[in-house]
């Protein structure tokens, strides 16, 4: 089993962002299984978050890849995403104080080094791997992307420029962690001298400098010593990997790219996502219908004011479940906890996790009178207050189950940040 991965400890990186020219700080934090990559805008009120997936792509793709959900936007994420993909990191929280990550040296290598220093750990949950059975082709004039199904990941990139001087580069790489770190991650952002004014006119490249961009003059000479003879083509592969990781996994296959960039990349991943959805429908893989509050009341005996669960959105029989608790000022406990500064009691957050565990265990039990009682609560950590207006994402996982006793691990999140975590044992 290929297990999901996260990092072991928090790490931070800072610098000037490439296009907006802002002082940017990224803080990378571990995340539980099945969380995915979540960007959190710490500079905005309430620290809103946006998940890195194709549905949140803004679709602009003008010299960069951006995410947006409602008013939350994060730009130029491709180098960070490429580093996460290359290292096989599935679950991570990326906190930012700006709408764009630091450019650092224009490659993914500084992010790779930082994440490796943080320590990469495996989680006891299998990776979601993406296999397709059909060839996919996307064309736009002289640009083309072709996906050919295979059992491994391979990318071939053909770069061709005729202006201001003829340039042709070809790179082909079998994608694994070592080849990414050594052959792709160090490749830096580049542009031609004649493009600089046009980029500035579009409000881009404000933070560009010799520290983070390789500029090529009209004779084809770069202003930096190349890290590779074909560094430009390698950087295009880096960008493609970062864009592909919006699928949550790099698809197994051989991708042949001819002069492609972010815009064409986005069209390919959209088509891959649609193809994967069709494959799932054809294979009769069920789409999970959430359990609403009336469904939950048929399973649990709890009622107002002690039903702490509004919806169950995911579950895997006897394994794990994900639920939602919407916290409003009308909660009865806020009358006394505390009138001047309402905070949800930590033990009620644990109660909500336990109720989610009850739904998982009792969902298929015909006897609706079944009850669960706490036997123990261990390793409790309260990390952040939960206040009116918050939506809690509750996640539980079965650690051990024997007879009528089960042990769970549980975590509660608000905006991608852990508020409470605990291990608890329940007798049913």
Model pLDDT, residue 80: 98
Determine, yes or no, domain membership for 230: yes
Q: What is the CATH number of the domain that holds 120?
A: 3.30.230.20
pTM for the predicted model, two decimal places: 0.66
- Together in a domain, 140 and 267: yes
Please, which pLDDT band fits residue 282 given cuts at 50, 70 and 90?
very low
- Together in a domain, 107 and 222: no
Mean pLDDT of the chain: 90
Model pLDDT, residue 132: 82
Catalytic residue among 19, 75, 235, 262: 262
Our count of domains for the chain comes to 3
How would you classify residue 318: left for phi > 0, otherwise alpha for psi between -120 and 50, otherwise beta? left
Model pLDDT, residue 62: 67
Please, which pLDDT band fits residue 163 given cuts at 50, 70 and 90?
confident
More confidently predicted of 57 and 38: 38
Mean pLDDT of 166-191: 95
Determine, yes or no, domain membership for 188: yes
Name which of 65-74, 177-186, 301-310, 372-381 the model is least confident about.
Answer: 65-74
Length of the chain: 428
- Together in a domain, 343 and 206: no
- Together in a domain, 349 and 273: no
Determine, yes or no, domain membership for 131: no
Torsion over CA: 354, 421, 77, 233 (sign): negative
Identify whether 75 is a catalytic site residue: no
- Together in a domain, 172 and 276: yes
Structure confidence by residue, pLDDT tens digits, 85-134: 999 999 999 999 999 999 999 999 999 999 999 999 999 888 888 888 88
Please, which pLDDT band fits residue 308 given cuts at 50, 70 and 90?
very high
Measured torsion, CA atoms of residues 85, 86, 88, 94, in degrees rounded to the nearest 10: -50
Q: What is the largest CA-CA distance in the chain?
A: 80
- Together in a domain, 220 and 195: yes
pLDDT at 60 over 80: no
Mean pLDDT of 276-296: 64
Please, which pLDDT band fits residue 283 given cuts at 50, 70 and 90?
very low
Secondary structure of residue 145 in the 3-state scheme: strand
Determine, yes or no, domain membership for 288: no
Mean pLDDT of 21-30: 95
Domain boundary among 231, 253, 282: 282
More confidently predicted of 418 and 177: 177
- Together in a domain, 392 and 369: yes
Please, which pLDDT band fits residue 17 given cuts at 50, 70 and 90?
very high
Model pLDDT, residue 404: 87
Identify whether 79 is a catalytic site residue: no
Within 10 Å of residue 357's Cβ, how many Cβ atoms?
25
Determine, yes or no, domain membership for 179: yes
Domain boundary among 125, 155, 170: 125
Model pLDDT, residue 9: 97
Mean pLDDT of 152-158: 96
pLDDT at 30 over 90: yes
pLDDT at 136 over 90: yes
Determine, yes or no, domain membership for 98: yes
Model pLDDT, residue 42: 95
Question: How far is it, in rounded angstroms, from Cα 164 to Cα 383?
Answer: 56
Catalytic residue among 224, 254, 302, 337: 337
Domain that holds residue 265: 136-282
Domain boundary among 97, 125, 153: 125
Of 244, 63, 80, 65, nearest to 155 by C-alpha is 244
pLDDT at 281 over 60: no
pLDDT at 285 over 70: no
Model pLDDT, residue 35: 92
What percent of the chain is modeled with pLDDT above 70? 95
- Together in a domain, 143 and 261: yes
- Together in a domain, 219 and 200: yes
DSSP states along 180-216: IIIIITTPPPEEEGGGHHHHHHTT--TT--TTT-EEE
Structure confidence by residue, pLDDT tens digits, 316-357: 877 889 999 999 999 999 999 998 999 999 999 999 999 999
Model pLDDT, residue 286: 43
What percent of the chain is modeled with pLDDT above 90? 65
Secondary structure of residue 272 in the 3-state scheme: helix
- Together in a domain, 82 and 151: no
Model pLDDT, residue 277: 60
- Together in a domain, 263 and 315: no
Within 10 Å of residue 117's Cβ, how many Cβ atoms?
12
Model pLDDT, residue 239: 96
Determine, yes or no, domain membership for 416: yes
More confidently predicted of 79 and 317: 79
pLDDT at 236 over 90: yes
Question: How far is it, in rounded angstroms, from Cα 293 to Cα 112?
Answer: 44
- Together in a domain, 277 and 301: no
Question: How far is it, in rounded angstroms, from Cα 10 to Cα 93?
Answer: 10
pLDDT at 61 over 60: no
């Amino acid at each position: 089993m290929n297990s999901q991965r996260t990092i072991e400890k928090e790490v931070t990186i800072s610098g000037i962002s490439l296009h907006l020219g802002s002082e940017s700080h990224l803080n990378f934090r571990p995340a539980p299984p099945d969380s995915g990559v979540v960007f959190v805008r710490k500079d905005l009120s309430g620290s809103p978050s946006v998940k890195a997936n194709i549905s949140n792509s803004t679709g602009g793709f003008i010299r960069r890849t951006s995410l947006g959900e409602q008013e939350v936007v994060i730009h130029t994420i491709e180098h960070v995403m490429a580093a996460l993909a290359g290292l096989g990191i599935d679950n991570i929280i990326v906190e930012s104080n700006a709408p764009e990550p630091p450019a650092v040296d224009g490659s993914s290598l500084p992010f790779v080094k930082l994440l490796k220093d943080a320590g990469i750990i495996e989680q006891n949950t299998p990776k979601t791997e993406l296999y397709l059975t059909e060839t996919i082709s996307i064309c736009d004039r002289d640009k083309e992307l072709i996906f050919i199904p295979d059992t491994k990941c391979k990318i071939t990139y053909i770069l061709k420029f005729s202006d201001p001087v003829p340039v042709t580069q070809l790179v082909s790489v079998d994608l694994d962690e070592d080849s990414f770190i050594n052959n792709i991650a160090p490749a830096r952002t580049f542009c031609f001298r004649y493009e600089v004014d046009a980029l500035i006119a579009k409000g881009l490249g404000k933070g560009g400098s010799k520290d983070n961009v390789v500029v090529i003059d009209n004779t084809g000479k770069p202003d930096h010593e190349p890290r590779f003879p074909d560094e430009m083509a390698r950087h295009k592969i880096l960008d493609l990997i970062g864009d592909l990781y919006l699928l949550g996994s790099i698809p197994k296959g051989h991708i042949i790219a001819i002069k492609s960039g972010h815009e064409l990349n986005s069209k390919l991943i959209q088509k891959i996502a649609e193809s994967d959805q069709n494959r799932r429908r054809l294979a009769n893989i069920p789409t999970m219908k959430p359990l609403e509050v009336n469904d939950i009341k048929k399973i649990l005996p709890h009622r107002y004011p002690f039903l702490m669960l509004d919806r169950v959105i995911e579950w895997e029989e006897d394994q794990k479940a994900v639920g939602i608790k919407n916290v409003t000022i009308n909660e009865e406990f806020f009358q006394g906890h505390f009138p001047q500064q309402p905070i949800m009691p930590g033990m009620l957050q644990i109660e909500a996790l336990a109720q989610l565990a009850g739904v998982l265990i009792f969902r298929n039990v015909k006897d609706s009178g079944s009850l669960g009682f706490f036997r123990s609560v261990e390793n409790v950590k309260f990390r952040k207050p939960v206040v009116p207006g918050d939506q809690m994402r509750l996640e539980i996982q079965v650690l051990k189950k024997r007879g009528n006793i089960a042990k769970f691990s549980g975590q509660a999140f608000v905006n991608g940040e852990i508020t409470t975590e605990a291990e608890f044992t329940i007798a049913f």
